[in-house]
Amino acid sequence: PIKSYCALDGFYEMYDTIGSGGFAKVKLGVHCLTGEKVAIKIMDKKQLGDDLPRIRLEIEAMKSLSHQNVCKLFQVIETDAKIFMILEYCPDGELFDYIVERDRLTEDEARHFFRQIVAAVAYIHHKGFAHRDLKPENLLLDDDQQLKLIDFGLCAKPKGGMNSHLETCCGSPAYAAPELISGKCYLGSEADIWSMGVLLYALLCGYLPFDDDNIAVLYRKIQSGMYEKPEWLSESSMEMLDQLLQVDPKRRITVAQLLHHPWVTKDCNPSYNVQWESIYQTKELDDECVTEMAVSIGKSRKAMHAILSDWSYDYNTATYLLLWKRKQLSKSVRLM
Ligand SMILES: CN(C)C[C@H]1CC[C@H](N2C(=O)N(C)Cc3cnc4ccc(-c5cc(Cl)c(O)c(Cl)c5)nc4c32)CC1
């Protein structure tokens, strides 16, 4: 391991930088007690400046999100100079690069990924969050072709719930909904659906439906809702895209309709509905994991259970979540 930050000493080994995004550096780390790899997002508070509230928002949002298609936050460490977010490691990087390497995906492969995106978005909307920056750069791949949604720095949890309007124009222009770029009030959930349409188009075509170097021209293209339909798109794919890329948000398909849309559920057994429910029952703790930790730390199971029930996103929370993740992968639930 390279020089580590004293705040992590003994808890995490730090390895090289695996990516950087704006005001953050992301390094590969290893959680000492379990030996599991993690991604460590490191931010300098001074550099953050007035972006600090955005990070606080991302941290609070991620603490309340536990889903198989949302990147899991394991621990937050704050010193007077830095903030460290210990995150679920996604070895196969951004979906963006995955598409670029292949030019474009087949309809079946696009469906495999789009289903997971629908699951993640249905889940975060159910929890009262709109992401507002859905794009292939914010969808990472783990080593099992599972997508993990990241970057909740722009997400919104409208005070009055998901049916109250937002104003801030944000996100990436090419993925932004017409009502959002027209400066109108908009519903976060409807804007996310539009972005999912742009995303699905990028998966199926390998380029963007609305694109232009001149931002004003780009905006006009988005507001026209007109986009090219290459000849390799099937009828059903074109129909799916049309229902997502509806300029009028009231005519746009909803995430609830998407969950059982024939294009999304194609080739699944009839009982299949998109796995939008979280596999994490964060409320009940897993006895085997609690016991393993109690023994290793030398506390009673009752005391260990009480500590973990606080969900304080300290080292204990990280150890529990990483142990639980190992158990899901039917790996040994043993600590170093
Ligand atoms: C361009 N983006 C806005 C940032 C970029 C930073 C590196 C990251 N990465 C990579 O680029 N690999 C190539 C490896 C990699 C592996 N695991 C990761 C696990 C989590 C994250 C992550 C990063 C940020 Cl900035 C977050 O806010 C969250 Cl919630 C999660 N990034 C990871 C990551 C991909 C995204």
Say if ligand 1 is within 6 A of residue 179 CB: no
According to the model, what pLDDT value does residue 12 have? 96
Lowest mean pLDDT among 30-44, 205-219, 248-262, 277-291: 277-291
What average pLDDT does this structure show over 43-53?
A: 90
DSSP 122-151: HHHHHTT-B-S--SGGGEEE-TTS-EEE--
**Residue 206: burial class (beta carbons within 10 Å; 0-12, 13-18, 19+):** middle
Q: What is the pLDDT of residues 156-208, one digit of tens each?
A: 777 778 888 877 777 799 999 999 999 888 999 999 999 999 999 999 999 99
Span from the CA of 16 to the centroid of ligand 1 (angstroms): 13
pLDDT > 90: percent of the chain: 78
According to the model, what pLDDT value does residue 328 have? 87
Span from the CA of 54 to the centroid of ligand 1 (angstroms): 16
Say if ligand 1 is within 6 A of residue 87 CB: yes
Give the chain's mean pLDDT: 92
Residues 6 or more apart from 297 whose CB is under 8 A from it? 304
Q: Does the pLDDT of residue 4 top 70, yes or no?
A: no
According to the model, what pLDDT value does residue 261 have? 95
Higher pLDDT, 185 or 140: 140
Say if ligand 1 is within 6 A of residue 137 CB: yes
| Nearest one of 9, 12, 46, 42 to 322, comparing CA atoms | 12
Q: Cα separation of 128 and 158, whole Å?
A: 7
Cβ atoms within 10 Å, residue 265: 18
Cα separations in angstroms, 37 against 28, 91, 142, 321: 7, 9, 12, 13
Catalytic residue among 51, 97, 103, 133: 133
Report residue 100 as tokens: 């670029």
- Tell me which of 27, 75, 90 to substitute to probe ligand 1's pocket, judged by most ligand atoms within 8 Å of the beta carbon: 90
According to the model, what pLDDT value does residue 214 have? 95
pTM flag (> 0.80): yes
Q: Does the pLDDT of residue 270 top 80, yes or no?
A: no
- Tell me which of 26, 40, 146 to substitute to probe ligand 1's pocket, judged by most ligand atoms within 8 Å of the beta carbon: 26
Lowest mean pLDDT among 152-161, 213-222, 261-270, 286-295: 152-161
> Could you tell me the pLDDT band of residue 104, with boundaries at 50, 70 and 90?
very high
Cite the DSSP H helix spans in the chain.
45-48, 52-63, 95-102, 107-126, 178-181, 188-205, 215-224, 235-244, 255-259, 262-265, 287-297, 301-309, 315-328
Q: Cα separation of 304 and 290, whole Å?
A: 6
3-state secondary structure of 115: helix
Contact (CB, 8 A) for 127 and 175: no
Contact (CB, 8 A) for 177 and 223: no
According to the model, what pLDDT value does residue 183 have? 87
